[in-house]
């Protein structure tokens, strides 16, 4: 299997420049470098390329007598069209009327943002209205018919960049013109070029915009079509190039490259693109491989409504970010429908189509261009299957392949969904597991993991009744703990009791460890903390490895106490008694991690949370604490994205000192006599797919807290984290530095840049 070559399936984001287009651009830079405005021979030669490119563009677009003006890209084209249309309507606005500007709800952000911008700058103050789409992504024609009479401009797209869904332009044309013959109509054709036939002059489209880098030309060249006799206002004034319509010395290398692409589209070149019927076969083949690899896959658009070069899908239980990381590790470049940030955000395009939240948050887009080849499709299919095997290997999915061949799970795992955490503790010797605060989005993943690893679930426990989500505890318990009697948080009935410092606490055995329940009311009246401890028989003391404290202590924060069942005085005592039990070093594992802190300790929190430090040192009384806490809770930003915040932050996250390595400093560190741990922090399935990096130790970031716990005894050892892009390695390094590790570094830019 070819592990090294890159498979690029992100053509809707941008394409490589085709060698023949690059050669033409290079020739234009090195040989035909004249300024098209110069009247000498070099200038004339340059101008000839420009003229030919424009003629070919006119032919490709079916532009008739319309103008084709070269721009820097589609975003400039969009400004040009909107400015032109709005400057014209401004002169005839009736101040007694209410106007609107219409745009498709799934439009690229460049369109609504530009409309908003020019509407404001030009003082038009029309209302912006998004035209809804149906579940297949088609624009609501009734809405257009209703709103068009009062609209000044309507902006639609020919083909959507996330889903490939195309609109029926002739039906739109009829609908728009039947309701308003004067309205200016802009069509964003960026994703349509080379994928659908365009005959613009036969439509009433006023402006259409295009971008070269979506079809194998370089970045920095695009063009805009303007219908004959349609108003135009220059967006860039100056030396009068482009017939005075768009000033600035022309991007001749870009035009030379486009010229080659147009020749291919027109069949005037020795090179040719793959015909549409073959592209459809490529899509079917990729879809077949995806279905085989991920049987639960859901496609987010109808193939009959979309161009053959785009596939948008979601796999239940796997986020866009996870799939992106997986594909990247297999050297397949794809794109996520959603922004990959710490906050879970979905795709606004899929949201507008009314798809479910999980589809939107798990969306992956694979896209290719008309230069795709059979060989690349075959290789992509092979790699897709390989990716699925890696997921089976790390038990994220259950494959039919050998269950014995799994990477074994042992100890503590942290799962995150947005800013919330679920914790799983696995005792390797007894093959038993405990789950704490199971998030509903993880239900399937947890079940899969338990089955795949042949683990017996002993208990599934919530640390409190969560206000921000419904736990999936009951669903898991109903399936895996049939007949177990518990309280309402899942703590089993009739558990044994042990005495610690004269107090009795219930516990559960998990292998040689004990999970001890400590009531810690405050955030809610039912809040508990769970201590995972070794019981030292001789001293009758406990030595906790981890404390699962729910929303009592949050990283950089304390759980909110402004719910009906909250009590600030109770939180005051809970903090003190928990501190008494576990001390300042034990790792605290809360049920939220809003800032990639992973875990904390009372010591680390006291260093940045003065209020907590005052409570633990008893410098303040419960009443003073209540007063300060109430003020803090007033600052809670109730809802961030789709999440409800469960704590008020006392301080923005301070950066800790970590070493930022580059390739040279890493090599120097590795050549030292003193031992260095080079830790690959990617997930196990990514690591399994990556080749040539086996010399590094793999500690999946979901097991970082366990890694920290196991290295608590020597916090001076040099550790350098490494990952795909340098983002997770930096988070891991920051987290350990905050926990008091003094010699921590990470490789900036990760494998991607080194």
Binding footprint of ligand PLP on the chain (CB under 6 A): 73-75, 108, 110, 157, 161, 188, 190-191, 211, 222
Q: Which is nearer to ligand PLP, 307 or 436 (CB)?
A: 307
Helix (H/G/I), strand (E/B), else coil: 142? helix
Shortest separation between residue 731's beta carbon and ligand PLP, angstroms: 28
Q: Give the Cα separation of 176 and 652 in Å (integer).
A: 51
From the list 207, 203, 264, 206, the residue with the least C-alpha distance to 74 is 207
Both tokens assigned to 81: 């069209």
Shortest separation between residue 225's beta carbon and ligand PLP, angstroms: 14
The three-point CA angle 420-422-424 to 5° equals: 160
Buried b (16+ CB within 10 A) or exposed e, 651-675: eeeeebebbebeeeebeebeeeeee
Q: Which ranges in 62-101 belong to alpha helices (H)? A: 74-90
Q: With contact defined as beta carbons under 8 Å apart, do 297 and 323 qualify?
A: no
Q: Which is nearer to ligand PLP, 167 or 203 (CB)?
A: 167
Shortest separation between residue 121's beta carbon and ligand PLP, angstroms: 19
Buried b (16+ CB within 10 A) or exposed e, 522-551: bbbebbbbbbbbebeeeeeebebbbbbbbb
Shortest separation between residue 393's beta carbon and ligand PLP, angstroms: 35
Q: Which is nearer to ligand PLP, 210 or 572 (CB)?
A: 210
Shortest separation between residue 111's beta carbon and ligand PLP, angstroms: 7
Shortest separation between residue 159's beta carbon and ligand PLP, angstroms: 7
Q: Which is nearer to ligand PLP, 158 or 434 (CB)?
A: 158
Shortest separation between residue 350's beta carbon and ligand PLP, angstroms: 15
Shortest separation between residue 23's beta carbon and ligand PLP, angstroms: 22
Name the phi and psi angles at 447, rounded to 5.
Answer: -60, -45
Shortest separation between residue 57's beta carbon and ligand PLP, angstroms: 15
User: What is the C-alpha R_g of the chain?
Assistant: 30
Q: Which is nearer to ligand PLP, 169 or 460 (CB)?
A: 169
Q: Which is nearer to ligand PLP, 206 or 551 (CB)?
A: 206
CA-to-CA separations, 386 to 200, 290, 324, 366, 372, in angstroms, rounded:
44, 11, 14, 16, 21
Q: Give the Cα separation of 230 and 187 in Å (integer).
A: 14
Q: Which is nearer to ligand PLP, 189 or 381 (CB)?
A: 189
**Residue 67 bridge partners (DSSP):** 226
* Dihedral of alpha carbons 15, 17, 18, 24, sign: positive
Count CB atoms within 10 A of the CB of residue 614: 16
Q: Give the Cα separation of 224 and 186 in Å (integer).
A: 10
Count CB atoms within 10 A of the CB of residue 191: 30
Q: Which is nearer to ligand PLP, 191 or 734 (CB)?
A: 191
Q: Which is nearer to ligand PLP, 15 or 345 (CB)?
A: 15
Q: Which is nearer to ligand PLP, 14 or 342 (CB)?
A: 14
**Paired sense of beta strands 335-336 and 332-333, if any:** unpaired
Count CB atoms within 10 A of the CB of residue 752: 11
Q: Which is nearer to ligand PLP, 168 or 503 (CB)?
A: 168
Q: Which is nearer to ligand PLP, 17 or 681 (CB)?
A: 17
Shortest separation between residue 337's beta carbon and ligand PLP, angstroms: 13
Both tokens assigned to 431: 């093959």
Shortest separation between residue 221's beta carbon and ligand PLP, angstroms: 9
Shortest separation between residue 11's beta carbon and ligand PLP, angstroms: 10
- What is the H or E stretch that residue 668 is in? helix 663-671
Shortest separation between residue 218's beta carbon and ligand PLP, angstroms: 11
Shortest separation between residue 364's beta carbon and ligand PLP, angstroms: 17
* Dihedral of alpha carbons 172, 173, 176, 182, sign: positive
Q: Which is nearer to ligand PLP, 66 or 73 (CB)?
A: 73
Q: Give the Cα separation of 626 and 102 in Å (integer).
A: 51
Shortest separation between residue 319's beta carbon and ligand PLP, angstroms: 22
Q: Tokens 């083909």 map to which residue?
A: 159
Shortest separation between residue 39's beta carbon and ligand PLP, angstroms: 32
Shortest separation between residue 222's beta carbon and ligand PLP, angstroms: 5
**CB-nearest residue to ligand PLP:** 73
Q: Which is nearer to ligand PLP, 74 or 616 (CB)?
A: 74
**Residue 335 bridge partners (DSSP):** 365
Burial class (CB in 10 A: 0-12, 13-18, 19+), 354: exposed
**Paired sense of beta strands 557-559 and 553-554, if any:** antiparallel
Q: Which is nearer to ligand PLP, 190 or 455 (CB)?
A: 190
Shortest separation between residue 165's beta carbon and ligand PLP, angstroms: 11
The per-residue DSSP string of 598-633 comes to --B-HHHHHTT-HHHHHHHTT-S-HHHHHHHHHHHH
Q: Which is nearer to ligand PLP, 79 or 360 (CB)?
A: 79
From the list 608, 516, 517, the residue with the least C-alpha distance to 554 is 608
Q: Give the Cα separation of 45 and 31 in Å (integer).
A: 10
**Paired sense of beta strands 718-722 and 744-747, if any:** parallel
Helix (H/G/I), strand (E/B), else coil: 193? coil
The three-point CA angle 599-601-605 to 5° equals: 100
Q: In which region does residue 522 sit, left (phi positive, over 0), alpha (psi from -120 to 50) or beta (all else)?
A: left
From the list 480, 165, 476, the residue with the least C-alpha distance to 303 is 165
Reduce the secondary structure of 496-555 to three states and give it as a string. CEEEECCEEEEEEEECCEEEEEEECCCCCCCCEEEEEEEEECCCCEEEEEEEEEECCEEC
Q: Which is nearer to ligand PLP, 208 or 387 (CB)?
A: 208
Q: Which is nearer to ligand PLP, 188 or 427 (CB)?
A: 188
């Amino acid at each position: 299997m070819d592990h090294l070559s890159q498979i690029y399936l992100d053509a809707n984001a941008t394409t490589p420049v085709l060698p023949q287009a690059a050669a033409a651009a290079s020739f234009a830079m090195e040989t035909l470098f004249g300024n098209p405005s110069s009247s000498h021979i070099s200038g004339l030669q340059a101008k000839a390329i420009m003229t030919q490119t424009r003629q070919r563009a006119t032919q490709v677009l079916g532009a008739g007598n319309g103008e084709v003006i070269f721009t820097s890209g589609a975003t400039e084209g969009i400004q040009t069209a909107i400015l032109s249309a709005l400057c014209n309507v401004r002169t005839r606005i009736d101040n007694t009327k209410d106007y609107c500007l219409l745009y498709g709800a799934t439009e690229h952000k460049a369109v609504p943002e530009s409309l908003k911008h020019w509407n404001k700058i030009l003082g038009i103050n029309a209302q912006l209205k998004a035209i809804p789409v149906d579940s297949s992504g088609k624009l609501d024609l009734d809405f257009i018919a209703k709103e068009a009479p009062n609209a000044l401009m309507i902006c639609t797209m020919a083909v959507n960049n996330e889903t490939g869904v195309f609109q029926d332009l002739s039906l739109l044309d009829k609908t728009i013109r039947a309701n308003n013959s004067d309205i200016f109509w802009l069509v964003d054709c960026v994703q349509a070029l080379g994928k659908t036939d365009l005959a613009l002059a036969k439509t009433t489209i006023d402006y259409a915009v295009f971008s070269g880098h979506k079809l194998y030309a370089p970045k920095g060249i695009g063009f805009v079509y303007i219908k004959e006799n349609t108003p135009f206002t220059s967006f860039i004034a100056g030396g009068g190039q482009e017939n005075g319509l768009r000033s600035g010395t022309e991007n001749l290398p870009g035009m030379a490259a486009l010229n080659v692409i147009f020749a291919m589209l027109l069949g005037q070149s020795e090179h040719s693109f793959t015909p549409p019927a073959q592209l459809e076969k490529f899509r079917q083949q990729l879809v077949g491989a995806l279905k085989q690899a991920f049987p639960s896959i859901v496609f987010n658009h109808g193939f009959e409504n979309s161009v053959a070069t785009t596939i948008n899908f979601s796999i239940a239980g796997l986020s866009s970010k996870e799939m992106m990381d997986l594909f990247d590790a297999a050297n397949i470049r794809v794109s996520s429908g959603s922004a990959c940030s710490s906050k879970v955000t979905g795709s606004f395009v899929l949201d507008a189509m009314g798809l479910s939240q999980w589809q939107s948050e798990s969306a992956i887009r694979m896209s290719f261009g008309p230069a795709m080849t059979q060989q690349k499709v075959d290789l992509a299919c092979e790699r897709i299957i390989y990716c699925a095997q890696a997921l089976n290997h790390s038990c994220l999915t259950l494959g039919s392949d050998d269950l014995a061949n799994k990477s074994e799970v042992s100890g503590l795992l942290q799962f995150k969904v947005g800013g919330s955490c679920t914790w799983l503790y696995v005792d390797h010797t007894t093959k038993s597991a405990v789950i704490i605060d199971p998030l509903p989005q993880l239900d399937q993943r947890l079940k899969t993991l338990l089955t795949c690893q042949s683990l017996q679930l002993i208990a599934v426990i919530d640390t409190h009744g969560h206000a921000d989500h419904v736990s999936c505890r009951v669903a898991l318990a109903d399936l895996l703990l049939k007949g177990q009697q518990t309280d309402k948080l899942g703590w089993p009935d009739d558990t044994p009791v042990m005495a610690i410092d004269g107090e009795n606490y219930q516990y559960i055995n998990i292998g040689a460890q004990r999970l001890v329940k400590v009531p810690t009311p405050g955030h809610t009246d039912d809040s508990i903390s769970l201590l995972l401890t070794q019981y030292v028989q001789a001293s009758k003391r406990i030595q906790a490895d981890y404390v699962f404290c729910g929303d009592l202590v949050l990283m950089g924060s304390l759980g909110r106490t402004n719910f009906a069942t909250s009590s600030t005085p109770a939180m005051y005592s809970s903090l003190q008694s928990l501190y008494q039990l576990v001390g300042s070093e034990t790792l605290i594992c809360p049920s939220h991690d809003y800032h990639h802190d992973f875990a904390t300790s009372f010591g680390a929190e006291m260093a940045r949370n003065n209020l907590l430090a005052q409570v633990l040192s008893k410098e303040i009384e419960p009443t003073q604490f209540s007063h300060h806490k109430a003020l803090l809770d007033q600052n809670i930003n109730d809802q961030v994205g789709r999440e409800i915040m469960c704590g008020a932050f006392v301080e923005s996250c301070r950066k800790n000192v970590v070493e930022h390595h580059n390739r040279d400093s890493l090599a120097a560190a590795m050549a030292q006599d003193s031992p260095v741990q080079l830790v690959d922090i990617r997930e196990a399935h990514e690591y399994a797919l990556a080749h040539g990096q086996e010399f590094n130790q793999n500690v999946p970031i979901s097991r970082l807290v366990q890694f920290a716990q196991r290295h608590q005894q020597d916090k001076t050892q040099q550790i350098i984290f490494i990952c795909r892009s340098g983002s997770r390695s930096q988070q891991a390094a920051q987290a350990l530095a905050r926990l008091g590790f003094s010699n921590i570094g990470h490789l900036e830019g990760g494998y991607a840049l080194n």
